[in-house]
Structure 1
Amino acid sequence: MSAVALADRPVALHEVNVGEEYRRAVGGPPNDGKRFGCTEPRIVTPPLRLLTPETSYGFRVIEFATEVLRVRLYPWQRSFVIRLLEMNPDGTLRFQTALLLVGRQNGKSTISKVLALWFMLEAGWPLVLGTAQDLETAEEIWDDVVSLLEEETDDEDDLADFIEKVVRVNGKKTLHLTNGTRYKVKAANRAAGRGLSGNLIMLDELREQKNWGAWGAITKTTQAQDFSLVLGLSNAGDALSVVLSYLRKMAHAAVGDPDGINKDLPAAGPTELDIEASLEEDDELYEDDVPEDWEQDEDTLFIAEYSAAPGIDRRDRDGWAQANPLLGYLIREKKLASDCRTDPEWVFRTEVLCQWPDGSIDGVFPPGSWEETTNEPEILADGTERVAEADRIVGPRWVGIDKSADRSRTWITFAGHRADGVPQVEVQMVRHGDEWVKQWLLEHKYRSEFQALAGQSKGAPISSLLKDLDEDPEFDIPITPWSGGDFLGAFGQAFEAVRDHKVRHHKQPPLDTAAGTAERKDIGDGWAIDRKRSPSDVAPLIAWIAALWLMRQRPVVKLPPPIPAVLEDEPGQSSESMPTESLTADLGDIGF
């Protein structure tokens, strides 16, 4: 089905409560036969009232950008700010948290700059806080805002006159205006908002927030404010984008779940364990933090998602237009066509089509085989899910380990056998860094059952940790080298085991995403997973394969030599005293 047909749903959310004033303000592309990007989001929170200058501050933002900043907003940007800044009847903002999802290079930073200056100069909000996972990204937008004010013009009222002070110290950049407002930049981490009381919080590349620490800090900054708005801007995320995934699912559910993303796994906010993990590296904990403090109210949540419809062929150019509203303005169709031919499929889908990896691509395993080897959770009477007793590993365990390509996280997997004898591999732990690995393994409740540990021993992010553990006299878990032919052979073995349904695994989103989107790299007569070209973090899958390979390498124990026959009449001997247990004691270790 084409993108155009998919867009023609019975309820077109983007047409709800918009009148002629809105259409005139937003405008549209020229009618010259050229393909242009969609002005309206494919998924959007509909307004409660007709959008007019009396019901949305967005009209004022458009006028401010044009008349004061001399910035031309494109049709989709005008549509976004009008919808975003919808008013309640009392003049307050309807939305307190907002998401903008759109393909890369479509002008998100322009919106950030215009909104920052409008809220400072016209609305008079005391503090604008710009954040990004990479501080440099947040500082680039801040630099552009300062440059915009400092730019010389022929106007009598020079924008530079509004500047009181500019602090350009790296890590402490702050813009002070003469009306008392400030614009600061911070890295998106647990300390992002400590000591501050923010009004407009702009989180660039929200997809990169892979734990709840920064979100917890930022939500704290707005709790005491009468006027506040948290704006997250991003392209599509993946299974590790916990904050973005949670907010997006909640926003989709509020508008009827048009893509069905809540069908199997509804939105899940932070738990006590998430908070505990987020605060582990923080020396100034909020002792009263509870998950509810960080959760989002769906009534004040807004989403505008420019993305290609699910299931669309990546070559469908209507899908390009859905996710790239600047197509035909600043983005050339020929460039997207080139990217479509040369990019790995899920790189193109994520970066250009703003689609989330969902396992619809086969990854490194035969189509459907990964899903067919997945354990179904047991559903209790109260609706909660848990691992069924039959799907639990019993007995010895083999440990696989790997580190994300950006070295941010370390993943640990266990392989073993279920009660029915079927091999099973599952992700057991993931945390930032690797300092925790040694103690976690040595103090684990199944420590006595660990047989050995394996990870890529050469040329990988995890290799140095394995070397350190191997040389550590306190670390007594055997480490098995995994490299060369063994390394390549393990991927082929895993492929066959999944294909032939000879191994099982749980539903674990990061692992499932990696299995469904990993890219192969041919090496000689074999192949391995390509860390760099894969669109999602493949470390959990590599650790999974390492554990499966290691379990299959368990040593074959030789049977003891036959016991000499003893004659019944030999003094001091009887059949009752023969060490028969020696024939069976090690059967569990024999590699049949």
Structure 2
Amino acid sequence: MIEFAARFLGIKLRPWQRWLLIHALELLEDGRYRYRKVVIIVGRQNGKTKLIEVLALWWLFVDSESFPEHIPADEFLVLGTAQDKDTAKKVWKKVLRRCNPNVQKWPNRFSPAARAAIVPALVGEAMPPSESNGSEAIILKNGAQYQIAASTSGGGRGDSISRAVLDELREQKNWEGWAALSKTLNGTYNSQMWAISSAGDARSVVLKDIRDSALEALKDWQAYVDAGITSIEEYANTHDVSIGVFEWSAPEDCKLDDPDAYLQSNPSIGYGYEVDALLSDLESGEPEHVTRTEVLGIWVTATFDPSLNVEVWPELADPPETDAEGAIVYNGSEISSTSPVILGVDTSTDRKRTWIGVAGWRDDGLQHLEVIDVVGRMTAVAGRVKAIADEWDIQFVALQARGCNASELKEPLEKLGLIVIEVSGPALGAGTGKMHDRVEDRRMRHRSQEALDQAVKHAATKKLNDVRVWDRESSPVDIAPLIAVSNAAYGLEAMPDAQESAYEDHGLLVA
């Protein structure tokens, strides 16, 4: 790739870019990439966009024909994504200007800069591009394509993607974009995904969790490999080493005016700009947390402390189990057939998703909490809740009746004949506190659902009078899945008749 950049694109990559490519593109003995996923964390203005441009061109014009016996070129798809489509399109346009045959066909329609960027050898391999909004695609004569999408839209979800780039991973506030993109690569031979970003904060949940997992793996590496207990090969055979994390960052306790810190986190210093240029930003009044994350690569995470016990939560998981063929051999946690069942509802702060949760008693007397659906349009929520209630013969729905987006669902749900249990006033604190106690006392079970797990891991609370309540605004992720099941659990316990019946059915004393 380094040779390709120099010979065809006239780009002499910087030392850090060359070093990264040499290691991130390491091969296994059979020629496949060592890493299926590559995560790069480096300060802004260090040449990330240029690196992605070269990477996409290499994948498209060279790598698309690497394994024709496993994936023919006409099935080779490169997908560029970011938090929004406009960001993804910036790189796509840079790639297009290198190989757009329309520039040579109608040169007067393009600027001198556009004509100068054209690479004749690449133009000869390309078809006229599709540039209409929503169907942008660079298409080669061998059938390989480079498309773009917003990661939040689930772009490429239905396609088998060979290579993918996710720009500015720090902007991913939940796992939906990463999950949708990464799963499309799972069924493709020798697929590879790159995610590149500057450092983030507590809201950058995807980047933070991947980085934390890498740091945790390093502990094992140091304990076993460095100590000589096991070899590198043995370690690789018993651990997941398919994700490579490459980070340039300054020490966490560095001073903002320390030149060495900027050299450590900005490997392009000396290639276009100097330390003085970065230090001058301090004098312009740039906030310290911006400098630390985006320039020095230091994570600002101390401002957030999860409200629930995130160490106990995984112990309460009781998910379904499958055999090697994918057949379910154990259903996981379930509500008893004799238990009352309560629905819980809550809506995200941006109104884009309303989550429906359920609570009931298990045969062993513990509570079962589960997310059972998510609805995109607010106007469709009441009808969906009613459909679930009719299917499961449920009468009660618990939700916060004032001060949140979900409160507007109370009236339409009641008009549909459902009984709404209001989680408002003192009940807000009780619902939050009881959820804390259920986890701490291990009095519930869940099915280890990603949306709920992430909400639990990042849920914040705030003080309201003398109690603490869920804080949607301060939580770095959408905690509506957690609030939905918390409301359902509160509703289950707030019904004396239902509670007494459930306890008697399971032979327990009524508290």
Check whether TM > 0.5.
yes
Q: In 2, Cα distance between the equivalents of 1:136 and 1:482?
A: 41
TM-score (norm 1): 0.54
Supply the distance in 2 between the matched residues of 1:369 and 1:177 (Cα, whole angstroms): 49
Partner of 1:130: 79
Structure 2 residue 463 is matched with structure 1 residue 534: no
Q: Which residue number in structure 1 is paired with residue 41 of structure 2?
A: 102
Counterparts of 1:165 and 1:487, CA distance in 2: 62
Confirm whether residue 63 of structure 1 aligns to residue 6 of structure 2. Answer: yes
Q: 1:80 to 1:339 in 2, by over 3 A?
A: same
Kindly state the Cα deviation for residue 395 of structure 1 after the two structures are TM-superposed: 2.5
CA offsets per residue over residues 521-547 of structure 1, 9 Å max, x none? 445555533323312331122123322
**Residue 399 of structure 2: which of 446, 455, 459 is its match?**
455
- Taking only the aligned residue pairs, the percentage that are identical comes to 22
Q: Which amino acid in structure 1 is aligned with residue 401 of structure 2?
A: S
Say if 1:425 and 1:547, in contact at 8 Å, map to a contact too.
no
1:159 maps to amino acid: I
Give secondary structure in 2 for the equivalent of 1:535.
Answer: coil
Q: Tell me how far apart the structure 1 counterparts of residues 51 and 238 of structure 2 sit (CA, whole Å).
A: 23
Paired residue for 1:490? 430
Q: Tell me which of 140, 153, 158 is aligned to 2:90.
A: 140
Per the alignment, residue 230 of structure 1 pairs with 192
In structure 2, the residue matched to 1:53 is: none
Distance across 2 between alignment mates of 1:182 and 1:341: 37
Partner of 2:19: 79
Would you say 1:326 and 2:266 are equivalent positions?
yes
- What are the superposed Cα offsets for residues 288-329 of structure 1, whole Å, 9 maximum, x if unpaired? xxxxxxxxx9999843213699xx9965789x989x943784
- What is the aligned residue count? 434
Distance 1:178 1:425, change over 3 A: closer
* Contact 1:373/1:498, CA 8 A, preserved across alignment: no
**Deviation digits for residues 91-138 of structure 1, max 9, x if unmatched?**
x55448332243674754432211122344566756652243643332
State the alpha-carbon separation in 2 of the partners of residues 201 and 502 from structure 1. 41
Q: Distance in 1 between matches of 2:139 and 2:418?
A: 57
1:142–1:152 distance in 2 versus 1, CA, 3 Å: same
User: Which of 336, 356, 368 is the aligned partner of 1:412?
Assistant: 356
Question: 1:215–1:316: structure 2 CA closer, same or farther, 3 Å change rule?
Answer: same
> What SS does the aligned partner of 1:306 have?
strand
In structure 1, what is the equivalent of residue 118 of structure 2? 159
CA contact (8 A) 1:425 1:544 kept: no
1:396 aligns to 2:340 (yes or no): yes
> Is the contact made by 1:411 and 1:427 (CA closer than 8 Å) also made in structure 2?
no
The amino acid of 2:389's aligned partner reads L
Distance 1:247 1:299, change over 3 A: farther
Relative to structure 1, is the Cα distance of residues 341 and 551 closer, same or farther in structure 2, using a 3 angstrom cutoff?
Answer: farther
Where in structure 1 are there 5+ consecutive unaligned residues?
Answer: 1-57, 261-296, 558-584
| Residue identity opposite 2:89 in structure 1 | E
Give the aligned partner of residue 231 of structure 2.
none
Q: Show the 5 A alignment for 1:331-480.
A: 338=287, 340=289, 362-365=305-308, 368=309, 371=312, 375=316, 395-407=339-351, 409-417=353-361, 424=367, 426-431=369-374, 433=376, 435=380, 436-444=384-392, 447=393, 450=394, 452-472=396-416, 476-480=417-421
Counterparts of 2:178 and 2:39, CA distance in 1: 20
Find the residue that maps to 1:480 and give its secondary structure. strand
Task: In structure 2, give the amino acid aligned to 1:442.
Answer: D
Q: Whose radius of gyration is greater, 1 or 2?
A: 1
The one-letter amino acid paired with 1:545 is S
Report matched runs for 1:505-584 at 5 Å. 505-506=445-446, 508=448, 510-523=451-464, 526-554=467-495
Contact 2:41–2:247 (Cα < 8 Å) also in 1: yes
> Take 2:447 and 2:160, find their aligned partners in 1: how far apart are those partners?
40
Kept after mapping to 1: 8 A contact 2:399/2:422: yes
Which whole-Å CA distance do the structure 2 matches of 1:158 and 1:369 have between them? 52
Q: Distance in 2 between matches of 1:502 and 1:87?
A: 46
- The structure-2 alpha-carbon separation of the partners of 1:242 and 1:369, relative to structure 1 and needing over 3 Å to count, comes to closer
Unaligned runs of 5+ in 2: 66-72, 100-109, 224-236, 499-503
Q: Distance in 1 between matches of 2:405 and 2:29?
A: 55
In the alignment, the residues of structure 1 paired with residue 160 and residue 363 of structure 2 have an alpha-carbon distance, to the nearest angstrom, of 55
Change (3 A) 1:82 1:498: same
As a proportion of its length, which structure holds more helix?
2
TM-score (norm 2): 0.61
Contact 1:176 1:182 in 2 (8 A): yes
User: Secondary structure, in 3 states, of the residue corresponding to 2:6?
Assistant: helix
CA distance, structure 2, for counterparts of residue 458 and residue 142 of structure 1: 46
Please show how residues 18-29 of structure 1 align to structure 2 within 5 Å: none
Indicate if the aligned counterparts of 2:355 and 2:374 stay in contact, CA closer than 8 A. yes
Structure 2 vs 1, CA of residues 245 and 503 (structure 1 numbering), >3 Å: closer, same or farther? same
1:83 offset after TM fit, Å? Answer: 1.8
1:416–1:96: structure 2 CA closer, same or farther, 3 Å change rule? closer
TM-aligned CA deviation for residue 142 of structure 1: 0.9
Contact 1:518 1:538 in 2 (8 A): yes
Q: Which moved more, 1:80-89 or 1:500-509?
A: 500-509
Deviation at 1:214, TM superposition (A): 5.2
Q: 1:325 to 1:147 in 2, by over 3 A?
A: farther
Asked if 2 retains the 8 angstrom alpha-carbon contact of 1:103 and 1:354, the reply is no
Q: Letter of the aligned partner of 1:98 in structure 2?
A: K
Equivalent residue of 2:386, what SS? helix
1:113 aligns with 2:53: yes
Residue 410 of structure 1 deviates from its aligned partner by: 3.9
RMSD: 6.0
* Alpha carbons of structure 1 residues 313 and 248: separation in structure 2 relative to 1, 3 Å: closer
Deviation at 1:170, TM superposition (A): 0.8
Structure 1 counterpart of 2:194, which letter?
G
The offset of 1:215, in angstroms, is 4.9
Judge which range, 487-496 or 395-404, deviates more: 487-496
Name the structure 2 match of 1:175: 138
- Alpha-carbon distance in 2 for matches of 1:326, 1:60: 24
User: Offset at 1:171?
Assistant: 1.0
Summarize the Cα distance change of 1:87–1:504 in structure 2 as closer, same or farther, 3 Å threshold. Answer: closer
Name the CA shift for 1:490/1:253 in 2 (closer, same or farther; >3 Å). Answer: closer
- Structure 2 residue aligned with 1:263: none
Change (3 A) 1:364 1:88: closer
- Superposed CA deviations along residues 231-252 of structure 1, whole A, max 9, x for unmatched, are 2315689999999989998x99
Contact 1:85-1:93 at 8 Å conserved across structures: no
Give, in whole Å, the separation in 1 of the partners of 2:20 and 2:389.
49
Q: 2:246 aligns with which of 294, 299, 306?
A: 306
**How far 1:375 moved relative to its partner?**
3.5
- Partner Cα separation in structure 1 for residue 238 and residue 349 of structure 2: 35
Relative to structure 1, the CA distance from residue 113 to residue 403 in structure 2 (aligned partners, 3 Å threshold; closer, same or farther) is: same
Counterpart secondary structure, 2:422: coil
**Contact 1:412 / 1:429 at 8 angstroms: preserved in 2?**
yes
